[in-house]
Every structure is written in C-alpha cells, then in structure tokens.
Homo-oligomer: A and B are copies of this chain.
Amino acid sequence: MPDASLLEAFPTPSDSPFVVEHVAEEFTSQCPKTGHPDFGVVTVRFQPRPGRDQGVCVELKSLKIYLQSFRHEGIFYEAVTNRIRDDLAALMDPAWIMVRTDWRGRGGIRSTIRAARGEPPAEYRL
C-alpha cells in the first residue's frame, strides 16, 4: 500500500536555486479492475525551497522504497501520478514540482500523465 511515511528528507544544501530530477525506471503497480500488473517510468522534478528558508529535499533511497510500496496496489494511472505529486509536495513544500508517469500501455496504447504544482523555473530550461 502506498505509504508516504516512508519518505525522508534532508535540508536543502544551498541557498541558490537548483533543480533535481529523479527518474525511476522500474515502477510497477496493478490495474484496479483486472489485477494485471502495470509497468511505468516515474519522473520527479523539483526546485526545493532554499536552505535558509528551512527547505528540504527528498532522500533518494527513501524515494525508492516509497515507490516500491505501490507494487501491490490496485490504482489507476492518474491516481498514481496525483498521489506521488501530493505526497512529495506535502513532504517538501517545494518552489516547484512536476511528476510525470510514462506507461508501457495496454491494447496498443501508451499513456503519459503529467501533474505539477508551482511555477516551473524558466532559467533552467536550457
């Protein structure tokens, strides 16, 4: 069962803005209708609040364990995406966060869901 209490954070190590991206290529959950496994790639991008404002970043190993907690969960694509964004936003209260899920597809259709919060940092788009 997805468990946000598995997530841990550490203080943002800088006061100048920077952007972190984690790509988990081995995500799996289950279809709530059929119980068949779903396979996807989860991308998390965020700009933490600065260290001087008590900003924090998600710790990498805890993120991995948290994502593994979806393994036995029957849950829709859209709900996975919103759930991860909400749990990480609650943990870090970041300046910006974007969660993207890419699913291998069923019946010849591949799907991608994007959910965000906050303003994307324009100066890092290069």
Residues of A within 8 A of B (CB): 13-14, 16-26, 28, 36-37, 39, 45, 57, 60-61, 63-64, 68, 71-72, 76-79, 81-82, 98, 104-117, 119-120, 123-126
Please, which residues of chain B bring their CB within 8 A of the CB of A61?
Answer: 106-107
Partner of A116, one of B21, B109, B115, B123: B123
Closest B residue to A63 using CB positions: B109
Given A18-B115, A64-B106, 17 additional A-B pairs, CB 8 A: A13-B82, A18-B81, A18-B116, A20-B78, A20-B111, A21-B112, A25-B109, A26-B28, A26-B39, A28-B28, A36-B107, A60-B106, A61-B106, A64-B107, A98-B124, A104-B108, A119-B123
Tell me, in angstroms, the Cα distance from A28 to B64 when the chains sit together.
Answer: 16
In the bound assembly, the distance between CA atoms of A16 and B71 in angstroms comes to 26
Bound-complex Cα distance A16 to B78 (A) = 12
State whether A24 and B119 are in contact (beta carbons under 8 Å apart), knowing that A78-B13, A82-B18 are contacts in the complex: no
**Taking the nearest CB of chain B, how far is it from the CB of A101, in angstroms?**
10
A18 and B113 within 8 A (CB): yes
Cβ contacts under 8 Å, A19 to chain B: 113-114
